Structure 1
Amino acid sequence: MNESKEFDSLVPAQAFDRRSFLVTSLGAGFALATLPVAAQTAIRTDAAGLLEGEVKVPVHDGAMVAYRAAPAGVARAPVVLLISEIFGVHEYIRDTARRLAKLGYFVVAPELFARQGDPRKIESVAEIIDRISSKTPDAEVMKDLDATVAWAAGQGADSARLAITGFCWGGRITWLYSAHNPGVKAGVAWYGRLVSPVNAYNPRHPIDLVGELRAPVLGLYGGVDTGIPVDTVDAMEAALKTGSPAARASQIHLYDNAPHAFHADYRPSYRKEEAEDGWRRMLDWFRQNGV
């Protein structure tokens, strides 16, 4: 797997010296910061016919907990990395993994915040950002995702057919990993931030990496997303046209009337029509790119 030396040189050294994981089990339910859950819209997918549950993925400094869902008895299933929002691998992410597994994918959702803390147990979004998501180095995430792909291959999945998708924080990571790993065939980024201030933990952002994209990415964005201004989406779309071959093959679809988190069926931001259309586009994107 490709190692990002530039990320490594900019991240605080202590980020790679930790030997303890603060999250060793995923538990159950939705993140506290997302409550109350909109029960009338939240999708619930059963596990019939699936091999699913918590797993431990060996990483450079120990074992990272993750959720795995895959079709039972199916060898060489294509791999999908599923990257969470800032709320971690809570029930919405696990359910999304099961939906994809029912379609034949070997899905792994790693708890990439495992060293920083458990966002599912924090009630304040601001506190999650301050304590956990903003302190999670991009370089460490890239290493953990490389390890997750290697683990999936060791379980009999077909890592030569590799896709990545993620929501919000995970949408940004989808862009980054599609530039990092030459083995990725397709990425689908749901409302991932494209432009942000640079710091030691986040030395580069998606718009900075269009010249290095190794896999085509489909970006799904909301036209009334107050956290991701449309002008940044327009800037990314323009930048892609001058980027790498994979960047030029990438696409962005803007849902004019959709807010942030329009796929999150357990939240008031959910927009059924746009969420279902985005899901169809994601699956088509995977298939078109050999996953």
Structure 2
Amino acid sequence: MASDRTVVTAPTPDGPMPAHLWLPGSGTGPGILLLQEIFGVSEYIRSRGADLADLGYVVLAPEIYWRLESSTVDESRDDVLEQGLELMGRVDWPTAVADAVAALGALEERPEVTGATAVMGFCFGGGLAFNVAAVADVKVLVSYYGSAIPSLLPLAGQVDAASLHIFGTDDAYIPPETVEEIRQAVDGPGTEFHLHEGAGHAFDNPHPVFHHAAASAAAWEQTTDFLARRLPVR
């Protein structure tokens, strides 16, 4: 059983960035940098952090919105999507990448991390994870419907991590022709690419506005299988 979540910090040139840490029951394991959706390190992202720790990984989820006045949305309100888009719109992308790379360094320096590290993200975090994998040394990349990836395709040749990309076929933000462009750009012997029929954007998020139960379950099974093969827990 994984440990309870603890709040730690990751150093950046502008000060300490808050981050959430989960340890596996063994106390040690490979590291996974977990990057948030546009909604911040929400209850959903925290639940996925705990899920990954239960698999045997040391998980760190940095507060990428830490420089903003608000770092999460109010999930009890009906305008959750509008809140998230407003927050994301105030993020400076190069700074977010630098902060994520700093968090990766902090994760790798933790004594509980043994072996290689991965970067994993959802939506906003899926694109951010792709960018981190292009500029930092990680063994594994897992990206769920990375919304920024279409604008980051020139970096595809710099990503040498074993990569898993997951998309829904009914994504209103990443249409099928764009998904196909992504697939072609990232295609290679170390890349796995899965489409989930009828699923929209953010389908793994349990919020009723987004959730597609069948796609979520299938994608998580693909994720755990991929991690077991590419980032095994010893």
Q: How high is the TM-score relative to the length of structure 1?
A: 0.72
Aligned length: 228
C-alpha distance in 2, partners of 1:194/1:129?
13
1:61 counterpart (8, 11, 14) = 14
The residue type paired with residue 21 of structure 2 is R
Structure 1 residue runs of 4+, over 6 Å off? none
Q: CA deviation at 1:155?
A: 2.6
C-alpha distance in 2, partners of 1:174/1:158?
19
Match of 1:261 in 2: 202
Structure-2 change in CA distance of 1:141 and 1:195 (3 Å): closer
C-alpha distance in 2, partners of 1:284/1:127?
34
C-alpha distance in 2, partners of 1:152/1:240?
26
C-alpha distance in 1, partners of 2:109/2:146?
30
Structure-2 change in CA distance of 1:212 and 1:71 (3 Å): same
Structure-2 change in CA distance of 1:64 and 1:119 (3 Å): closer
Q: Deviations over 1:39-61 (max 9, x none)?
A: xxxxxxxxx64142211222111
C-alpha distance in 2, partners of 1:73/1:285?
21
Structure-2 change in CA distance of 1:49 and 1:116 (3 Å): closer
Which one has the largest radius of gyration?
1
Q: CA deviation at 1:127?
A: 4.9
Q: CA deviation at 1:276?
A: 1.4
Q: CA deviation at 1:104?
A: 0.9
Structure-2 change in CA distance of 1:62 and 1:278 (3 Å): same
Alignment partner of 1:180 is 2:121? no
Q: CA deviation at 1:62?
A: 0.5
* 3-state DSSP of counterpart to 2:194: strand
Match of 1:114 in 2: 66
C-alpha distance in 2, partners of 1:136/1:209?
20
1:250 counterpart (182, 188, 191) = 191
1:190 counterpart (144, 157, 161) = 144
1:1-291 matched pairs, under 5 angstroms: 49-72=2-25, 74-75=27-28, 77-121=29-73, 124=79, 125-130=81-86, 132-158=87-113, 160-182=115-137, 184-194=138-148, 205-241=151-187, 247-291=188-232
Q: Which runs of 5+ in 2 are unaligned?
A: none
Q: CA deviation at 1:72?
A: 4.6
C-alpha distance in 1, partners of 2:186/2:107?
30
Q: 1:171–1:191: 8 Å Cα contact kept in structure 2?
A: yes
